[in-house]
Amino acid sequence: MVFGWGKKKLDENEINVVSKEKHILLSDISNILEEISSVRTKTIMAEVKTFRNKIDSNRKTLLKITKELDGDTLNTEEIDHHLRRLVDRGKSDVLSIIKKECTKNLIEINSFDDVKAFSETVTKMLKRVGDSLGRHSNVIHIFAKKYAKRLKDDLRVMQSDNKEISVLVTNHIDLENKIEKITESVIEYEQFQESLSTLDVRKDNAEKNIQKLIEMNKNIIDEIETLKNSKEYTAYLKIKEEINSFLSVRLEIKNQIDSQFANISRPMNKYIYISSLDKLQKKLLENLINNPIDVLTDENKDGIIQILEAVIKNVKSESISVKNIEKSLNQLNQTISLVDEFIDKINNCSQSKIDAENRLSVFNYANLEKKELDLSKNKNNTSETESELESFEFETGSITDSMSKSIKSIESILNQISAVHYVIALE
DSSP character string of 121-190: HHHHHHHHHHHHHHHTHHHHHHHSHHHHHHHHHHHHHHHHHHHHHHHHHHHHHHHHHHHHHHHHHHHHHH
Contact 281, 327 (CB under 8 A): no
Q: pLDDT at position 319, please?
A: 85
Is 426 within the bounds of a domain?
no
Q: pLDDT at position 1, please?
A: 35
What's the whole-model pTM score? 0.63
In whole angstroms, what is the distance from residue 236 CA to residue 242 CA?
10
- Provide block-wise average pLDDT over 10 residues at a time, the chain (427 residues): 38 48 90 94 94 91 84 66 72 83 90 93 90 77 75 89 94 94 94 94 94 94 94 93 91 93 89 82 89 92 91 88 88 93 94 91 92 94 94 93 93 91 86
> Residues, the chain, total?
427
| Whether 116 and 171 share a structural domain | yes
Contact 36, 420 (CB under 8 A): no
Which amino acid is it at 162? Answer: N
Grouping H, G, I as helix, E, B as strand and the rest as coil, residue 422 is strand
| Domain final residue pick, 184, 209, 240 | 184
Euclidean distance between the first and final Cα of the chain, in Å?
62
Q: pLDDT at position 5, please?
A: 37
Is 415 within the bounds of a domain?
no
| Domain final residue pick, 362, 389, 421 | 362
Is 152 within the bounds of a domain?
yes
| Domain final residue pick, 184, 213, 248 | 184
Is 266 within the bounds of a domain?
yes
In whole angstroms, what is the distance from residue 63 CA to residue 409 CA?
52
In whole angstroms, what is the distance from residue 372 CA to residue 425 CA?
54
CA geometry: angle 368, 372, 373, nearest 5 deg: 115
Is 155 within the bounds of a domain?
yes
| Whether 97 and 170 share a structural domain | yes
Element housing 421 (H / E): strand 421-424
Picking from 123, 116, 127, the residue whose alpha carbon sits closest to that of residue 48 is 116
Cα–Cα distances (Å) from 71 to 67, 84, 133, 313, in that order, read 6, 16, 18, 154
Exposure on the CB side of residue 321, measured as CA atoms within 13 A? 0
| Whether 57 and 179 share a structural domain | yes
Q: pLDDT at position 220, please?
A: 94
Cα–Cα distances (Å) from 49 to 40, 43, 63, 109, 119, in that order, read 14, 10, 21, 6, 11
Is 206 within the bounds of a domain?
no
Q: pLDDT at position 138, please?
A: 72
In whole angstroms, what is the distance from residue 162 CA to residue 67 CA?
24
Q: pLDDT at position 2, please?
A: 40
Task: Kindly give the pairing relationship between strand 21-24 and strand 421-424.
Answer: parallel
| Whether 145 and 85 share a structural domain | yes
CA geometry: angle 39, 45, 47, nearest 5 deg: 100
CB atoms within 10 A of CB 131: 14
In whole angstroms, what is the distance from residue 131 CA to residue 4 CA?
10
Number of domains in the chain: 2
| Whether 280 and 168 share a structural domain | no
In whole angstroms, what is the distance from residue 166 CA to residue 121 CA?
12
| Whether 32 and 177 share a structural domain | yes
In whole angstroms, what is the distance from residue 217 CA to residue 212 CA?
9
334 backbone dihedrals φ, ψ, rounded to 5°: -60, -40
| Whether 179 and 301 share a structural domain | no
Q: Residue 296: which domain range? A: 231-362
